[in-house]
C-alpha cells in the first residue's frame, strides 16, 4: 500500500498533470479488508488515532489520499 500511495502522490504532483482533473478508483476492497485484519493501520499511517474499525480505516485512507492529491 505504501508503494501505491507513493506512486499516486508522484503522479498527482507531476508537472505534466498539474492542470489535469483526476479520478481515483478504489478497487480490491475485499483484499484490503482481509489484510487489515492482520496488520495494524498504524504501521502504515503513524498519525492514525481512530478506533480500529474498518469504516474508520477506510475514511482515514481516503482523507490521506485526498491530502496527498492537493497541489
Q: Which residue, 70, 71, 42, is CA-closest to 61?
A: 42
Closest CA to 67 of 37, 33, 24, 31: 24
Residue 47 among known ligand-binding residues:
no
According to the annotation, is 29 in a ligand binding site? yes
Is 27 annotated in a binding site? The answer is yes
Strands (DSSP E) along the chain, which ranges? none
Residue 46 annotated in ligand binding = no
> Residues at the annotated binding site?
27-30
- Known binding-site residue numbers for GTP: 27-30
Amino acid at each position: 500500500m505504501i508503494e501505491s500511495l507513493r506512486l499516486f502522490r508522484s503522479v498527482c504532483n507531476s508537472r505534466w498533470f498539474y492542470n489535469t482533473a483526476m479520478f481515483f478508483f478504489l478497487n480490491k476492497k475485499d483484499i484490503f479488508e482481509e489484510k487489515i485484519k492482520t496488520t495494524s493501520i498504524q504501521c502504515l499511517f503513524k498519525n492514525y488515532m481512530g478506533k480500529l474499525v474498518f469504516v474508520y480505516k477506510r475514511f482515514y485512507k481516503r482523507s490521506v489520499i485526498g491530502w496527498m492529491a492537493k497541489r
